[in-house]
Every structure is written in structure tokens, then in C-alpha cells.
């Protein structure tokens, strides 16, 4: 399945009047792709359309307009899009008693080794163990939401396609040993994903896609320090004093974002620009 690209994302202003109808289509699609495994685990199988909705909503909530920042969100969420020959899912551990959340989550430690897609019955079953996102796992803590993938061998793919062969999700954890059959509609949806990308639920109308970048971030050939990036206006300007207020705001927003990332990575940050030099160009880096 192809990852999403920026041209498939709608600008937040154009998105607003489309949102209600689009959200209803996504909710209907997710209803088919969701299944309970016991009384505490829910799986939502992802594809590029469920992920596109998450990106659109994130841009809307965070008021993200700059294409570079939109691309950053795409890069993050594209990790949820299944690649060829695999299934991708979000696993949610649902605990309704507020006072029991931490203790119950702790009891589920090690679940990352215990989730399987089981194709077939008893001794002849093919068991596909889920691969959890390792960056979410800690030795002594567990979160309530996990991203996982089921890599399908050719044999597993053939079995998944055959409705006569049983298919279920099994969790073989010491404190949570359950199994649930894949609903027919969900299974059909997963097989369709293996054959082709799903039909888009949101189609950008002319002029509604994310606008062309007016600000770019690049790495210089000769860095002045750690994490050095250059933030600059794409179009040429005589100096900073010639920049219109809207572009100035975009540059400063990107400048702040880059500075926060450098500080988070290296603990300090230096920002400078010669405002009288032709062009609008700021340097952001952590001194050695």
C-alpha cells in the first residue's frame, strides 16, 4: 500500500466545510475495520484512508498550514500505513475503572510477544505474531495504545483470502488469554487492501490541496554547530524589512519549531541572521 503524499491532504480551511460528511464516511469505514478481542482489547486495522483522517484532524487541531509541518505529520502517521504483504493495526487496551488503570496495564506487560493472527484450525494453523512498534515499549511500563503489524507470508496470504479457512486474533498472555474470529466484513476489507489501495474517502478539490511552500528548511553544506538548519523564504526578497506580515509570521513559526527541536536534542540553541543581507535567511543550531 502506498504511503500518503502531501498532494492528497486538504488545507485546513478547505477541509472545514468537507469535514462532517468526510467524518461520517470514515466512521462507517472504521466500524467495519474494528474488532474486540475479549473485554479489554480492541483492534482497529489501519489503511491509508484511516490514516489520512488522523492527519487531517491533527492539522485541524494544531492549525497547521505550513507544508513542511504538514509533511512532518505525514511522515509520522505514514508509519501506520501497511506496507505490501502486511496488515497494520492500532491495539487499544480499554480499562474503564480509573483507579485500576495502572495496575491493570502493569498486568499486561509482555503483551507485545503474545498477539497472533491465527489462520486455520488446531495443529495445522499458521500463526503470525504481531510486530509491535519497539519505540513504544518499556521494560517496566506499558501504554494503553500500541501500533503493530502482521507480516504475511505467501501461505498466510493464501489462507487469509480463503473464507473457508478460520481466521482469528489470539492473545496468549498469562493474564489475558482470549481469541476472537475475524468478522467476515473485516476480513473482506483486509483482503481488498492486499489487492489494491482503498478508494479515497476524501478527494481534494481544485485549489483545496496544501498550498505551495513559502518557507523552506534545509541543512547547510558547512554546518556551524550541531543540528544546524537554515530557515528561509523561498521567494527572493531584498531584506527582512521587505517581507509581508503573513510571510513573516510563517518564517517565525518555522523558526520557533526548529529551535525547539534543536533545544530538545542538544539542550541549547543559537539563532542568528544578518537582516541586511539580501534574502530572508535564519540559522538555527546548537554551538559545539
165 Cβ contact partners less than 8 Å away, ≥ 6 residues apart: 119, 120, 159
User: At 94, is the secondary structure helix, strand, or coil?
Assistant: coil
User: What is the pLDDT, as a whole number, of residue 115?
Assistant: 96
Residue range(s) in the chain whose domain bears CATH number 3.30.428.10: 215-286
User: What is the pLDDT, as a whole number, of residue 210?
Assistant: 47
User: What is the pLDDT, as a whole number, of residue 206?
Assistant: 54
Please count the residues of the chain: 288
> Which grid cell sits at 122?
488446531
| H/E stretch holding 187 | helix 184-195
User: What is the pLDDT, as a whole number, of residue 101?
Assistant: 80
Summary count for the chain: helices (H), strands (E): 7, 13
| Other beta carbons less than 10 A from residue 258's beta carbon | 23
Per-residue pLDDT of the chain (288 residues; tens, 9 = 90+): 888 888 888 888 888 888 999 999 999 999 999 999 999 999 999 999 999 999 999 998 888 888 888 888 888 899 899 998 999 999 998 887 777 788 888 888 889 899 999 999 988 899 999 999 887 777 777 788 899 999 999 999 999 999 999 999 999 999 999 999 999 999 999 999 999 888 899 876 655 544 455 677 778 888 889 989 888 877 776 666 677 777 777 778 778 888 888 888 888 899 887 655 556 678 899 988
- State which fold the 215-286 domain adopts: HIT family, subunit A (3.30.428)
Amino acid at each position: 500500500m502506498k504511503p500518503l503524499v502531501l498532494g492528497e491532504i486538504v488545507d485546513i480551511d478547505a477541509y472545514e466545510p468537507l469535514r462532517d460528511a468526510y467524518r461520517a464516511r470514515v466512521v462507517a469505514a472504521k466500524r467495519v475495520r474494528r474488532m474486540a478481542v475479549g473485554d479489554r482489547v480492541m483492534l482497529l486495522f489501519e489503511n491509508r484512508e484511516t490514516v489520512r483522517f488522523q492527519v487531517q484532524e491533527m492539522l485541524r487541531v494544531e492549525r497547521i498550514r505550513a507544508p513542511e509541518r504538514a509533511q512532518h505529520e505525514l511522515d509520522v502517521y505514514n508509519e501506520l500505513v501497511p506496507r505490501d504483504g502486511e496488515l497494520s493495526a492500532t491495539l487499544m487496551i480499554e480499562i474503564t475503572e480509573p483507579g485500576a488503570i495502572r495496575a491493570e496495564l502493569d498486568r499486561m506487560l509482555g503483551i507485545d510477544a503474545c498477539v497472533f493472527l491465527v489462520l486455520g484450525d488446531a495443529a495445522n494453523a499458521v500463526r503470525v505474531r504481531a510486530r509491535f512498534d519497539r519505540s513504544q515499549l518499556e521494560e517496566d511500563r506499558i501504554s494503553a495504545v500500541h501500533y503493530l503489524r502482521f507480516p504475511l507470508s505467501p501461505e498466510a496470504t493464501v489462507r487469509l483470502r480463503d473464507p473457508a479457512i478460520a481466521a482469528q486474533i489470539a492473545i496468549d498472555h498469562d493474564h489475558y488469554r482470549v481469541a476472537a474470529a475475524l468478522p467476515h466484513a473485516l476480513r473482506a476489507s483486509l483482503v481488498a487492501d492486499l489487492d489494491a489501495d482503498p478508494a479515497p474517502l476524501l478527494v481534494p478539490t481544485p485549489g483545496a490541496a496544501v498550498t505551495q511552500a513559502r518557507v523552506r528548511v534545509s541543512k547547510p553544506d558547512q554546518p556551524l554547530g550541531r543540528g544546524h538548519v537554515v530557515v528561509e523564504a523561498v521567494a527572493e526578497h531584498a531584506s527582512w524589512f521587505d517581507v509581508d506580515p503573513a510571510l513573516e509570521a510563517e518564517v517565525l513559526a518555522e523558526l520557533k519549531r526548529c529551535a525547539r527541536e534543536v533545544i530538545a536534542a542538544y539542550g541549547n540553541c543559537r539563532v542568528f541572521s544578518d537582516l541586511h543581507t539580501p534574502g530572508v535567511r535564519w540559522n538555527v543550531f546548537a554551538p559545539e
